[in-house]
Amino acid sequence: MTVKKITCWSIVPSCYKSEFQAPKNKAKVIAKQNSFQRLSLSDLSNPSSTTLSEDLSISLAGSNLHIFTLGELKVITQSFSSSNFLGEGGFGPVHKGFIDDKLRPGLAAQPVAVKLLDLDGTQGHREWLTEVIFLGQLRHPHLVKLIGYCCEDEHRLLVYEYMPRGSLENQLFRRYSVSLPWSTRMKIALGAAKGLAFLHEAEKPVIYRDFKASNILLDSDYTPKLSDFGLAKDGPEGDDTHVSTRVMGTQGYAAPEYIMTGHLTAMSDVYSFGVVLLELLTGRRSVEKSRPHREQNLVEWARPMLNEPRKLSRIMDPRLEGQYSEMGARKAAALAYQCLSHRPKQRPKMCDVVKTLEPLKDFDDIPIGPFVYTVPTDKSDNSIKDVKEGNAQRESKKKCGHHHQNQQLHHGHRHHQRTPPKSPNCYSENLVRQRRRSLDLNSPLHHGVKGA
């Protein structure tokens, strides 16, 4: 059975209630196909296609996506209650929900994240469809799993596996908690690189186009998974060297040549990967307007020091408190340097990035740290923390008008409003040593530590 071609807009009618509701008591999971060839978005935009209703479900046969009704998703999320709120991006709010084993035959009881299209926002059916088409067909341990979707009247929703540790952005830049250890950072870098390599090496390559810390979600053991395929693009075909597009993405992460020309290649993703790797090394956001002027753009500030082992300690995250493999950090920094090259051809392919990162997690020349006493806080419940962060994020994103369409390149960095603890809850001699090291070198880390 071959995959039917459909047009983007021919799908729209199939989303309306009257045509789309599956008969009661019938499992709505789509039947598996024998031979499965990935449907691309260019197939969808073919206006001459005459196929209509149910095309989406037929075309995505084999993907095991579940089609939910809005009513079901309301039950799952307790009517999208604020206590279930996880966060909000350009698409709309995300709520935690719980599917019980009675909802669908073949669908196990599990927590889920339900993303609801903000009907007043600037994203819409097209981004929703892009996500369903890509994530519905791509499966990999480092891509978040799309469980299903809802398309009812004007409503568009996406149902994902729930990722208990939220996004890398939340974990890495959260100020008043224990910071991510070095080995976890390397695990995240490697897993995310594998996710990108999978997309680039696919039979029909995919350019992800929005690689950034907020789109890397973390499982309970910090396994990273890429989410948000709303901006993804099929790679160039035949002799083409690039795809020409409107410039979309996030400021601070998008490759300079892509911003200048709109020419998109897999190497644009490699650049964005370099930015995230740099964020993991430094603990700084790609753009931070609150920093002194020359430190505001992370790449401009840090890149010159990445290839100079003696200067590396100046830019390493002070919250690591020196607890990292020096050899590992050097290799990771040299890799970030290459990924951030202004010449796309000089950047490594993602499969080579994976090869470079693979051994780094085993480097054990990490200084043995002193006893660290962490005063217990009442913030130990992750789910509560996530909800609070989500609320702060919602506020902050509203203020920023954080949407892809409006701004094309939207501003990635957001400040999460959080109340500082009454007293420092973590003390370590290593931090003092690290401070001394940076003061001795008269380095810019000085300022970073002061603020840490």
- Contacting ligand ATP (CB under 6 A), which of 65, 86, 117, 267? 86
Tokens of 64: 């095991």
Looking at beta carbons only, is 89 or 412 nearer to Mg ion? 89
Q: In terms of CB distance, is 88 or 321 closer to ligand ATP?
A: 88
- Bridging pattern class, strands 263-264 and 409-411: unpaired
Which of these is catalytic: 43, 210, 269, 317? 210
Nearest-angstrom CA–CA distance, 16 and 14:
6
Please give the DSSP secondary-structure letter assigned to residue 250. E
User: Which x/- pattern, by CB under 5 A, does the window 219-258 give for Mg ion?
Assistant: ---------x------------------------------
Residue among 120, 122, 123, 117 at smallest CA distance from 151: 117
Show the site string, 154-193: x = touches ligand ATP by CB under 6 A, - = not: ------x-xx--xx--x-----------------------
Whether residue 196 contacts residue 190, with contact meaning beta carbons closer than 8 Å, is answered with no
| Contact flag: residue 306 with ligand ATP (CB under 6 A) | no
How many residues touch ligand ATP under the rule CB under 6 A: the total is 21
Q: Which of 57, 215, 434, 438 binds Mg ion (CB under 5 A)?
A: 215
Which range in 89-97, 345-353, 354-362, 386-394 contacts Mg ion by CB under 5 A?
89-97
Residue 210 annotated to the active site: yes
- Nearest in space to 149 (alpha carbons), one of 127, 132, 130, 162: 132
Count of CB atoms within 10 A of residue 336's CB?
26
- Closest contact distance (angstroms) between CB of 311 and Mg ion is 33
First to last CA, the chain: 59
The one of ligand ATP, Mg ion, none whose footprint includes residue 325, by CB under 5 to 8 A per kind, is none
69 binds, among ligand ATP, Mg ion, none (CB under 5 to 8 A by kind): none
Q: Does 431 bind ligand ATP (CB under 6 A)?
A: no
Q: Choose, by CB under 5 A, the member of 89, 92, 191, 412 that binds Mg ion.
A: 89
Q: Check if the beta carbon of residue 52 is closer than 8 Å to that of residue 13.
A: yes
What CA–CA distance (Å, rounded) separates 393 from 399? Answer: 10
Which positions from 170 to 209 touch Mg ion by CB under 5 A, shown as an x/- string? ----------------------------------------
Closer residue to ligand ATP (CB): 163 or 366: 163
Q: Which amino acid is at 312?
A: L
Kindly state the tokens that stand for 442. Answer: 């008269």
Tokens at residue 418, please? 């959080």
Cβ 211 to Mg ion shortest distance, Å: 11
Residue 201 identity: E
For position 215 contacting ligand ATP by CB under 6 A, the verdict is yes
Position closest to Mg ion via CB? 228
Least spacing, CB of residue 228 vs ligand ATP, in Å: 5
Please name the residues in contact with 121: beta carbons below 8 A apart, sequence gap of 6 or more. Answer: 90, 91, 92, 403
d(CA 300, CA 288): 12
Shortest Å distance, C-beta 84 to ligand ATP: 11
| Cα–Cα distance, 221 to 96 (Å, whole number) | 19
* Contact present, 190 and 142 (Cβ < 8 Å): no
Binding to ligand ATP (CB under 6 A): which residues in 90-129? 90-91, 94, 113, 115
- ∠ Cα 193 199 202 (to 5°): 130
Rounded to whole angstroms, the Cα distance separating 129 from 139 reads: 17
Residues binding ligand ATP (CB under 6 A): 86-91, 94, 113, 115, 144, 160, 162-163, 166-167, 170, 214-215, 217, 227-228
Residues assigned a catalytic role: 210
Q: What residues line the site for Mg ion (CB under 5 A)?
A: 89, 215, 228
